[in-house]
Amino acid sequence: METGYDILFFWVARMIMMGLENTGEAPFRWVYLHGLVRDEKGEKMSKVKGNVLNPLQAIDEYGCDALRFALTTGSTPGNDSKISAQRLEAGRNFTNKLWNAARFLTMSLENAGQGGDALAALPVEDRWILSRLNRVTADVKRLLEDFQFGEAERQVYEFIWDEYCDWYIEISKVRMRGGGVSPLPVLVKALETSLRLLHPFMPFVTEELWQRLPRQAGQPDSIMIAHYPVADDKALDPEAERVMGAVIEIVRSIRNTRAQFRVPLDKWMEARIFAEDGMKDALAQHVPAMETLARARPVSVHPAKQRQAPDKDTLALVLPEAEVLLPLAGVVDLAAERKRLAGEVANTEKFVSGVEARLNDQAFLSRAPEDVVEKEREKLASSRDKLGKLTSLLSQLQK
């Protein structure tokens, strides 16, 4: 039984009492109580207020699956949720992301090579995505059994968007240009399984895309009657996840540095990576991918024991599995950046002092609602974190 918590007594309790009275049995074993769907301000929808979302209009503008995504993702049993244009747009964007991933795949299949069958023979990025896929599959099964539907959908969403689309597909493009073992068999397997994971939440786009993928022997005619994915523990590969986690962290840190210093896209940054011997050899195999994805060239990988103190005007990024040195001379106007960072530090310090003074004011704490006070505490924590990063960055540039 599934219904809103607001009619627990009027509907659910009455059905149970009538079932016991007339048949001697309860009509159902489980009752899933979802929250109310409120407007973007958190107010209950009402025709009188004029804040009701017309689902038919939302479907016409954003699509049915986008509406389902906005209503269900991140929701928790019994808790109200807000619906807004931003959430509907997020659902539509995710639908477009899925469509573009499948379109890239189907356009590339005509040049598909042969992939290896044994997991150990696959490149590390293939073993990584299959390992992550099976971890997500196991998590989704556990969450669905616990009625955590919104969290299950969120995990599928993050896997498809972040790991499959933003990382694995982009790394696969580099591989396909370089030749060697084709990533297409694994690309197809990961997407096909992901579509089956996502199908209960977004049935229409998953059915359409599933029909466009190569059909395996024994597969049914519709995703609706296909088996729901089951995790394979043999596909779990912690070492592949560790290596690819390091690659992703290195690329992300270089991208963040480019954004921080406003480096134009047509300028390439040199990157020197230092890592322990085992990780060094693994990272060296992904230099072409790191160069392309981070727009860094040349990228060189060295043993950690060869690492020396950074030269002047070289930024050091300390990561869990490696350290990255980025020479900034010739790429960044260092004098202008020092001035800009000093200004940001001063402004952030002023803002932090103002929030601290507000939170130390007993009159404010006694009058302000608890949610307002909590937001101020969150602002303070975020600003302190930002100040620490800015101060560290400025100190490196002033050496």
What DSSP character marks residue 27?
S
Provide the CATH topology of domain 2-85: Rossmann fold (3.40.50)
Phi-psi sector, 348: left (phi>0), alpha (psi -120 to 50), beta: alpha
Q: What is the pLDDT of residue 113?
A: 46
Cross-strand pairs, 314: 327
The class of domain 334-397 in CATH terms is mainly alpha
Residue spans of the domains in the chain: they are 2-85, 109-236, 239-327, 334-397
Closest-CA residue to 349 (of 386, 398, 395, 393): 386
Residue 325 CA: distances (Å) to CA of 150, 163, 207, 250: 41, 26, 47, 11
The total number of residues written for the chain in this structure: 399
Range with lowest mean pLDDT among 55-64, 77-86, 233-242:
77-86
User: Per-residue pLDDT tens for 104-159?
Assistant: 999 988 765 444 444 557 899 999 999 999 999 999 999 999 989 999 999 999 99
User: Per-residue pLDDT tens for 191-203?
Assistant: 999 999 999 999 9
- Residues 239-327, CATH architecture: 2-Layer Sandwich (3.30)
What DSSP character marks residue 201?
T
DSSP SS3 for 317: strand
Give the CA count within 13 Å in the CB-facing half-sphere of 125: 24
User: Per-residue pLDDT tens for 4-27?
Assistant: 777 777 788 889 999 998 999 999
Question: What is the rounded distance in angstroms from the CA atom of residue 325 to the CA atom of residue 318?
Answer: 9
Closest-CA residue to 220 (of 229, 230, 210): 210
- pTM of the entire predicted model: 0.83
Q: Report the side by side order of strands in the sheet with 269-275.
A: 296-303, 269-275, 323-327, 314-318
User: Per-residue pLDDT tens for 348-384?
Assistant: 999 999 999 989 988 888 888 888 889 999 999 999 9
Q: What is the pLDDT of residue 111?
A: 61
371's tokens: 């949610």
Q: What is the pLDDT of residue 34?
A: 79
The listed CATH number (1.10.730.10, 3.40.50.720, 3.90.1150.10, 3.30.565.10) that belongs to domain 109-236: 1.10.730.10
Mean pLDDT, rounded, for 289-294: 95
Question: What is the rounded distance in angstroms from the CA atom of residue 72 to the CA atom of residue 398?
Answer: 49
Mean pLDDT, rounded, for 233-241: 94
* Average of per-residue pLDDT values in the chain: 88
- CA 383-385-386 angle, to 5 degrees, is 65
DSSP SS3 for 272: strand
Question: What is the rounded distance in angstroms from the CA atom of residue 34 to the CA atom of residue 5?
Answer: 6
